[in-house]
Amino acid sequence: MRSMRRAMVIVLAWGVLVGATASAAVKPNALFTDNMVLQQGKKVPVWGTADAGEAVTVRIQQQQAATTAKDGKWIVWLKPMKAGGPFELTIQGQNTITLENVMVGEVWVCSGQSNMAMALSGCAGAAQAIASAKNPMIRLFTVERATARTPQSKFTAKHPWTMAGPNTVHGFSGVAYFFGRELQAGLKVPVGLIHTSWGGTPAEAWTDSQTIESNPKLKGIIPRWNRYIKEEYPKRLKAHQVKMEKWKKAAAAAKQAGTKVPRKPRAPRGPDGPHRPSSLYNAMIHPLLPYAIQGAIWYQGESNAGRAYEYRTLFPAMITCWRRAWGQGDFAFLTVQLAPFVGRLTDPIWPELREAQLLASQTLPNAGLAVITDVGDRTDIHPKRKAPVGARLALAARAIAYGEKIVYSGPEYTDMKVQGNQIVLSFKHVGAGLMAKSGQPKGFTIAGVDRKFVAASAEIRGDKVSVSSPNVSEPVAVRFGWENFPVVDLWNKEGLPATPFRTDDFAMITKK
């Protein structure tokens, strides 16, 4: 009996020792793994958790940084490094973690809704792109989808850092991959892509609560959500439960008959779902802070199209909120303008959202826009041609983030002059000159004092476009591509399409 008690004491003591050792183990944030890319040319933060008071030392190349954990957390800052690798990075406390195959290069966050989430395997030309994807200089990281009511410091990696290859890229964001591929080819340095997106989500879900609550123009967002949860959600949930009972019976019958099981009804937006204001910022952006980055690419807006006027305030506020939270200045922020689409849309709300995106790119520093009026699909909100999208984002990055003297944007309207029965338009980003691939510019409408827009003829005159209609003798305004699915033809000679625009400030459909 005595020997048994002694054995039990030894076992318990060993358990306490193991538990103490485990709790004291230094652990880095989930972003720090083998194969990761660290941002060149900037101070690089490395952080994680450990017991309070534990000494932590981080080493890479010929430098090291040390600190002491406080309140279970630690962070060190490495001095700026030049592009290169592979290197080893060690994190040492009571335990030692060695991260291998670490590269130093360019890091970009890739975020938005379903068109950013769309996997490479679903894109046009996927087979060839996947087969030729072997490039160890491109590294991919995917954040697991999650929501939270308060800002989080931890998150789960759906796929930790991996090198691009035929066996790794198929499920990665197509837009992000094509962007990274073009960027790496242009810069000749390692490129790291952090993919954090969620289909069908609005911009307010990606914006912190302070930004939303402190802006008078955004004050309706949270009360609107609260009303939905209190009044509408219970009704939709009840209706969903009825649908689910019917579906279960239909699914069981289909299985028994060996026929196709009907699609499961989609649950309504719940109180803790990804549409809740700030929920995705809290869970999928905040935990990435303050990882050193060069910039962000963003493909989102479909879910806010019905509130495009509000988006004129919300979107730049979201960008500013990210920049403030990262604490790395006005880093490059590049947006994909919404592609042409009709679907079940009746009112022209898509052009109003495109205008909001354009305004953000024009008014914020280091902001750019990739125009894709030529790669839409009339009936599919997820157009499959993503390679041009990534290529145009990469062009914008090379100019805005890296200062290359290249033409990176299609023509953008700047001003107009009325000359008799014509309106003459001026543009920037004309590059080597304006052109129409069909020989005649398309997509223009013109209006007189009655504000009724009619189809117009357009003629390129040097770097300007003259617009007129025999039905409008005294024109006051011109619009270009002002439709959900615009059929347009105006480019610069570098092959980049002009962004849709309007010269007027008439009342917006979405201003409510």
CB half-sphere exposure, 110, CA atoms < 13 A:
32
Q: What is the DSSP letter of 120?
A: G
Are 330 and 324 a contacting pair, CB within 8 Å?
Answer: no
3-state helix, strand, coil in the chain (%, to 5): 30, 30, 40
Dihedral, CA of residue 175, residue 179, residue 185 and residue 188, to nearest 10 = -130
Per-residue pLDDT of the chain (512 residues; tens, 9 = 90+): 343 333 333 333 333 333 434 456 999 999 999 999 999 999 999 999 999 999 999 999 999 999 999 999 999 999 999 999 999 999 999 999 999 999 999 999 999 999 999 999 999 999 999 999 999 999 999 999 999 999 999 999 999 999 999 999 999 999 999 999 999 999 999 999 999 999 999 999 999 999 999 999 999 999 999 999 999 999 999 999 999 999 999 999 999 999 999 999 999 999 999 999 999 999 999 999 999 999 999 999 999 999 999 999 999 999 999 999 999 999 999 999 999 999 999 999 999 999 999 999 999 999 999 999 999 999 999 999 999 999 999 999 999 999 999 999 999 999 999 999 999 999 999 999 999 999 999 999 999 999 999 999 999 999 999 999 999 999 999 999 999 999 999 999 999 999 999 999 999 999 98
Report DSSP letters for 185-234, one per residue. HHH-S-EEEEEEE-TT--GGGGS-HHHHHH-GGGTTHHHHHHHIIIIIHH
d(CA 435, CA 465): 10
pLDDT at 24: 61
In the DSSP assignment, the letter for residue 378 is T
Give the helix/strand (H/E) hosting 419.
Answer: strand 412-419
Strand-pair category, 453-455 with 367-370: unpaired
Instruction: Collapse the DSSP code of 98 into the 3-class scheme (helix H, G, I; strand E, B; otherwise coil) and give the result.
Output: strand
pLDDT at residue 5 in the model: 39
φ, ψ for residue 218 (rounded to 5)? Answer: -110, 10
Give how far the C-alpha of residue 237 lies from the chain's centroid of Cα atoms, to the nearest Å. 30
pLDDT recorded at residue 8: 37
Backbone angles phi, psi at 394, to 5 degrees: -65, -40
Q: How many CB atoms lie within 10 A of CB 14?
A: 10
**E strands of 61-199, at which residues?**
63-68, 73-78, 84-92, 96-112, 135-143, 157-164, 191-197
pLDDT at residue 512 in the model: 80
443: left (phi > 0), else alpha (psi -120 to 50), else beta? left
List the chain domain ranges.
412-502
264: left (phi over 0), alpha (psi -120 to 50) or beta: beta
- What element of type H or E holds 242? helix 233-257
Residue 170 is which amino acid?
A: H
Cβ(423)–Cβ(417) under 8 Å?
A: yes
DSSP code, position 168: T
